[in-house]
Structure 1
Amino acid sequence: MDSKKPPSIGALSGPGRLRVADDSERDVQALPPVAETFPSSQKIAEGELGVPFREITLSGGEPPLRVYDTTGPDGVDPRQGLPKRRAPWIEKRLRESDGNLSQMHYARQGRITEEMRFVALREQMSPEIVRDELAAGRAIIPANIHHPELEPMIIGRKFLVKVNANIGNSAVGSSIEEEVEKLQWSIRWGADTVMDLSTGKDIHRTREWIIRNAPVPIGTVPIYQALEKVKGKAEDLNIDVFLETLQEQAEQGVDYFTIHAGVLLRHVPLTATRVTGIVSRGGSILAKWCLAHHKENFLYTHFEDICDIMKAYDVSFSLGDGLRPGSGYDANDEAQI
């Protein structure tokens, strides 16, 4: 697997690459129009990039109140997926790519991408501030090049507070139809990002449906699917299985990955006196692997290999707090700190 090879333009624009219509027997429905959910509001698109906002009509005759909007295009058939609004921007950059397609890379070159201009208008800030915050590592735009349906957004300390919603199936239940509906209602009620934490059947297909219908960034915890590939046996995990899973999810268009690279072998014994132990699922998986092999966490030792995949697809990091406390008794203990 050549993780450093940038994706081809054909992978993005080829016929049917970003469609879910071949699964058309699925009974997945569009939500009611936004105007039915918010009867005193109307959606507007501002500027040449069509940045979405919602204007709320006020009862006292004052000018409409403009608010940030995450609801995405109205009335789209989920079996077709959302419009690929970013495709022309991405294809242009792919033609001149040096292998690093991250927004941070462009920001550090002094370039202002369409994604930066889009979020600048959304945040009511200048594109230069957006670029400078990205270059300094104080902000991210989670925007995988294989998620052209995305309406770009930014996370950082100078910008608006963002809210994440978690969805996902399990071995107990939930269908693709239910997961798409969870996604739709999450963004309808204002979620800025959505994490797919699926651990049940059809993980790949479920994620495809979610990404193709998501105007917001989609995140995952790749170690969950990697664990499924080794039949749930944490001790059978290895870096090859993990990188294969990472590449698969990056190809689909996942915008950010939670990576538990900070759970180190020497930290695991520090949890022995805890009342509630290790409550992070990812943290417990990697702690079990470290103890079984008495080796350092492979996500830590192969962090550069992970970075190679991330920068080739412009995937952002969410560094998982794998030893977070599960109770007040364990809070601020040595393992957490």
Structure 2
Amino acid sequence: MKNYKTQMEAAKKGIITPEMLIVAKKEFMEPEKLRGLIACGQVAIPANINHTSLSPEGIGTGLSTKINVNLGVSGDCKNYDIELEKVKLALKFGAEAIMDLSNYGKTNTFRNQLIKISPAMIGTVPMYDAIGYLEKDLLEITPQDFMKVVRSHAEEGVDFMTIHAGINKRAIEAFKRTGRKMNIVSRGGSLLFAWMEMTGNENPFYEYYDEFLEILREFDVTISLGDALRPGCIDDSSDASQLSELIELGQLTKRAWEKDVQVMVEGPGHMAMNEIAANMTIQKRLCHGAPFYVLGPLVTDIAPGYDHITSAIGGAIAAASGADFLCYVTPAEHLRLPDINDVKEGIIASKIAAHAADIAKGVPHAREIDNNMAEARHKLDWDAMFELAIDSEKARAYYESASPAEKHTCTMCGKMCAVKTTNMILEGKTVEFYSEN
């Protein structure tokens, strides 16, 4: 029988768990080095003891950048079959995490099915589920009710939960003084703000933080400290509201580690490119090196319909500057619940950002697949190129949609293909464009 409750407790005791061995192999890292990073909180392995289908992943210092895919139903879009298709797509393209953000009705049937079939980490935001799960209006919900929802998610097998514990009364005072353009854009954060203002009480996730940590510790659920006051437009980024909450999150990080609960800290949001690197440094400093999980950041506010691109730009910069985990953004962001095509576009954009950052960070073997692609292009081996592409099907479909007259080239350059011309010259052959056949 194992003598530890959580991955962090095991790491502190010098124990290398089966999950650590799997992650170490995936990351080309010595298990003992990984154990040390988990012990000090710089790496988390979200792995609920009840998620038996999980293929463990590590998030944090020295590891490859992971991506998360959000899905789930809303009051206006309630088709769980469509959400399951999104799950399959996320798994097909190698997303390491899936968050069920359903906020309508009894969501546990879908979530139980998701946890049963998914090798990817599963995350939730219990605050979203509270109203539907409890069938109470916001004002009627008690701190004990919130605990009931958190325990339910933990028992089901959720690997990490976003809990907005940092938006306490001190942070709200800073928010009110700041005077933002977009105020609060976090759904969970806005609900907690409303609950606090209507009841006059402290944030229950902050006031009863230790009790919530005990639940998370029991099932080895990683706490993802939500950024309720994240900037919702670039004009609000790096303001007193955001940073005052981040200071609170740093203290909450240490308190969780004291109870052997693994931690991730969530970040912006909308942010101009020139602020991103500094924000990553500040987060790592204030939150003691805990893994950083960012939504975007979106680097401009004027691209609805293309926010997977604005997010990929910001995400690549953030991850190259120290962020560890990227939450995907789809073209439907700010507009509607994403459909299956939106989800695919968001996943691909996020995977590109994560991989580009891993190359910049020097993650072991990150360049290998790029070098293999270069070799395939050098040889004009189209099948190998399609196999190596992030989206093999799209690459092949593009190529086959317009057949070139010149064998082994594409319709961009045709007989003037630079690769073919150079290969021929280096092989001692003559290049002729107008020779008779």
Contact 2:106–2:133 (8 Å) recurs in 1:
no
Aligned counterparts of 2:18 and 2:171: Cα–Cα separation in 1: 42
Q: Residue 234 in 1 paired to residue 138 in 2?
A: yes
Residue type of the partner of 1:310? Answer: L
CA drift at 1:234? 2.5
Separation of aligned partners in 1, 2:236 and 2:138: 25
Deviates most, 215-224 or 283-292? 283-292
Do residues 193 (structure 1) and 97 (structure 2) align?
yes
Q: Per the alignment, in what secondary structure is the counterpart of residue 201 of structure 1? A: coil
Q: What pairs with 1:299-314 in structure 2 (closer than 5 Å)?
A: 299-314=205-220
Structure 1 Cα separation of the partners of residues 135 and 231 of structure 2: 28
Q: How far apart in 2 are the matches of 1:160 and 1:243?
A: 33
Structure 1 position 283, deviation (Å): 0.7
Structure 1 residue 222 corresponds to structure 2 residue 126: yes
More contact order relative to length (CA 8 Å, sep ≥ 6): 1
Residue 108 of structure 1 deviates from its aligned partner by 0.4
Candidates 91, 102, 110, aligned match of 1:206:
110
String of CA shifts for 1:304-325, please: whole Å, max 9, x gaps. 1011011110100100000011
TM-score in terms of structure 2 length: 0.53
- Partner residue in 1 for 2:27: 123
Aligned-residue sequence identity (percent) comes to: 37
Give the number of the structure whose alpha-carbon radius of gyration is greater. Answer: 2
Structure 2 distance, partners of 1:200, 1:254, is 18
Cα distance, 1:175 vs. partner?
2.4
* Corresponding letter in the other structure for 1:193: A
SS in 2 for 1:317: strand
Alignment match, 1:277: 183
Structure 1 position 324 matched with structure 2 position 324: no
Kindly state the Cα deviation for residue 172 of structure 1 after the two structures are TM-superposed. Answer: 1.1
- Report the equivalent of 2:286: none
Q: Deviations over 1:115-157 (max 9, x none)?
A: 0001100111111011100001111000000001101110012
- Which residue type is aligned with residue 236 of structure 2? D
Instruction: Report what 2:241 is aligned to.
Output: 335
Q: Secondary structure of the residue that 2:185 maps to in structure 1?
A: coil
The answer to whether the aligner puts 1:295 opposite 2:201 as a matched pair is yes
Residue 269 of structure 1 deviates from its aligned partner by 4.2
The whole-number CA distance in structure 2 between the counterparts of 1:253 and 1:158 is 27
> For residues 99-118 of structure 1, what are the alpha-carbon distances to aligned partners after superposition, in whole Å with 9 as ceiling and x for unaligned?
x5110000000000110001
Change (3 A) 1:208 1:263: same
Shift of 1:230: 4.8
Distance 1:230 1:204 in 2: 12
| Shift, 1:292, TM fit | 1.2
Aligned residues: 241
Structure 2 residue 169 is matched with structure 1 residue 265: yes
CA deviations on 1:240-269 (whole Å, 9 max, x unpaired) are 111111111111100000000000123224
Higher helix share: 2
Structure-to-structure mapping, 1:233-252, within 5 angstroms: 233-252=137-156
* Equivalent in the alignment of 2:192: 286
Q: Tell me, which stretches of 5 or more residues in structure 1 are unaligned?
A: 1-91
2:277 match: none
CA separation in 2, counterparts of 1:256 and 1:146?
A: 12
SS of the equivalent of 1:164 reads: strand
On the 8 A contact 2:106/2:132 being kept in 1, the answer is no
Instruction: Tell me the distance in 1 between the aligned counterparts of 2:73 and 2:209.
Output: 28
CA distance in 2, matches of 1:262, 1:287: 11
1:145-183 Cα distance to aligned partner (Å, 9 max, x none): 000110111001211111111011111123232222111
Query: 1 CA distance for matches of 2:18 and 2:170?
Result: 44
CA contact (8 A) 1:275 1:330 kept: yes
* One-letter amino acid of the counterpart of residue 254, structure 1: V
Instruction: Map 1:159-178 to 2 at 5 A.
Output: 159-178=63-82
